[in-house]
């Protein structure tokens, strides 16, 4: 017995447990265990999970050639920009032959000038349960046989030739799908009885988007989905909706209100909804144009505000009249501090927030509407149990925070049992 092995308790473990440990490592590190002892020399060749992250093609080819396991559970392949696409086909053929269950193929960064078509054998790989393909083009010559597939993530430049319909028909058990398409220039229909969770976004959409998913529970919609052509949704079981946008890329023009309104009308029966700043401002525009919109079942509302704008917190709270059954309200301003314009006289609706029991808000103490905002909530939520206010201020404004805190704690409350928690967040603007 090697001297190293005699003192190493890991080597006393059964092979099955050692293989599980090796499966947690990048394959490069699993291969290095060859030098530990004779016991470890060939164990890496039967590890059921292989992970290659930005590895040289020669290394991947060498591992694939020496691997002698019976079943490949997971094959993770993340490539550099310069990785030649001609090498990928043999690796995918290897994974398919070994009845891979979880397959991930992607590149280091968003690359839209790569044209890679996966081999046709991938579409007949019936062992797949999870599939993640990035920056690929789809040309499906036959039928798809993904009878066990539960999760599908696709990031593609273009999707045409009825590819989506073929993929979904061949995946009758699909429950989760994330779909990003760089360009949609023809009508796209997502039709699935089994689908429960869907994320969808695109870079440029000009065509009609149809979603027919009667058992869908959660739906996440990116900004550009709304900015394209018509959207026709049939999602009667939907309970959660998320409207997102990329925070470092604020669109130069607002969302098309009619398209956004059309989507909201089709999902207004949900119980939980999350809006980003872009969508909140569109809701305010709708309100100004007297577009009637109600969410009669929403109990959990999250609003995320990112950048400074012309709106005060009071403006944003005025949207609560759209949610008559609201129970939990969370509102976060993600940036630190802003200079706000002086508050102007405004008439706020007075919704009776009878069901509201929890509020959590992060906002700047610099906003002159902060006290009026808290007063508005305290006066209109008679059964409120807890209000948590995270007040943000810079290092030179501690006196302002103390003044706001003192004033807020003295405000009258319609709920005699409400617990009011004020948390200070100090920001050193000199370091920003």
309-363 confidence digits (pLDDT tens): 667 788 888 888 899 999 999 998 876 555 555 555 555 556 668 899 999 999 8
Q: What per-residue confidence (pLDDT) applies to 273?
A: 96
Asked if 214 and 235 touch (Cβ cutoff 8 Å), the reply is yes
Report the alpha-carbon distance of residue 347 to residue 92 in Å, rounded. 63
Q: What per-residue confidence (pLDDT) applies to 1?
A: 43
396-406 confidence digits (pLDDT tens): 788 888 999 99
Nearest Cα to Cα of residue 320 among 347, 344, 298, 342: 298
The residues, ordered by sequence, that sit 6+ positions from 321 with a Cβ below 8 Å of its Cβ are 349, 351
Nearest Cα to Cα of residue 223 among 288, 160, 282: 282
Indicate the pairing of strand 176-184 with strand 197-205. Answer: parallel
Other CB atoms within a 10 A radius of the CB of residue 414 amount to 15
Kindly report the pTM of this predicted structure. 0.85
- Residue ranges of the chain whose pLDDT lies below 50: 1-7, 112, 247-249, 252
CA distances from 356 to 239, 327, 349, 382, 410 (A): 19, 4, 16, 8, 21
Q: What per-residue confidence (pLDDT) applies to 343?
A: 54
Look-up: residue for tokens 């291969």? 31
The token pair at 94 is 């290897």
Report the alpha-carbon distance of residue 107 to residue 78 in Å, rounded. 5
- The SS3 call for residue 216 is coil
Q: Provide the Cα torsion 157, 159, 164, 166; round to 10°.
A: -120
**What are residue 102's DSSP bridge partners?**
74, 130
Report the alpha-carbon distance of residue 107 to residue 423 in Å, rounded. 43
């Amino acid at each position: 017995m090697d001297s190293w092995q005699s003192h190493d308790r890991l080597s006393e473990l059964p092979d099955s447990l050692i293989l599980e440990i090796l499966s947690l490592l990048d394959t490069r590190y699993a291969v290095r265990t060859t030098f530990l002892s004779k016991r470890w020399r060939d164990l890496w060749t039967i590890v059921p999970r292989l992970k290659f992250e930005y590895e040289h093609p020669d290394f991947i080819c060498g591992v694939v050639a020496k691997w002698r396991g019976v079943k490949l559970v997971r094959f993770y392949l993340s490539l550099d920009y310069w990785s030649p696409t001609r090498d990928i086909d043999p690796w995918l053929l290897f994974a398919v032959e070994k009845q891979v269950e979880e397959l991930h193929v992607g590149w280091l960064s968003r690359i839209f000038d790569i044209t890679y078509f996966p081999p046709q054998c991938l579409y007949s790989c019936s062992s797949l349960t999870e599939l993640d393909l990035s920056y690929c083009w789809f040309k499906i010559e036959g039928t798809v046989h993904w009878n066990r597939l539960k999760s599908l993530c696709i990031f593609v430049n273009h999707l045409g030739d009825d590819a989506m319909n073929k993929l979904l028909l061949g995946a009758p058990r699909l429950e989760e799908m994330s779909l990003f398409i760089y360009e949609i220039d023809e009508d796209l229909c997502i039709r699935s009885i089994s689908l429960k969770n869907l994320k969808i976004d695109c870079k440029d959409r000009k065509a009609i988007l149809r979603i027919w998913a009667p058992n869908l529970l959660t739906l996440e919609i990116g900004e550009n989905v709304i900015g394209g052509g018509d959207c026709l949704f049939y999602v009667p079981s939907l309970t959660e909706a998320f409207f997102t946008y990329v925070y470092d890329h604020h669109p130069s023009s607002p969302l098309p209100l009619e398209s956004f309104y059309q989507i909201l009308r089709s999902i207004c029966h949900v119980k939980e909804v999350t809006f980003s700043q872009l969508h909140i401002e569109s809701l305010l525009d709708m309100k100004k144009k007297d577009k009637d919109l109600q969410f009669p079942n929403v109990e959990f509302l999250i609003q995320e505000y990112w950048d400074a704008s012309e709106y005060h917190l009071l403006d944003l709270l005025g949207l609560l009249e759209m949610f008559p059954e609201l129970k939990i309200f969370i509102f976060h301003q993600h940036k630190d501090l802003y200079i706000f314009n002086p508050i102007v006289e405004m008439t706020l609706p007075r919704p009776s927030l009878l069901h509201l029991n929890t509020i959590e808000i992060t906002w700047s103490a610099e906003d002159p509407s902060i006290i009026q905002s808290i007063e508005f909530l305290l006066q209109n939520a008679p059964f409120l149990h807890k209000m948590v206010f995270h007040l943000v201020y810079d290092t030179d404004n501690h006196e302002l925070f103390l003044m706001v805190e003192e004033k807020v704690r003295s405000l009258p409350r319609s709920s005699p049992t409400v617990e009011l928690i004020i948390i200070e967040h100090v920001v050193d603007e000199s370091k920003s």
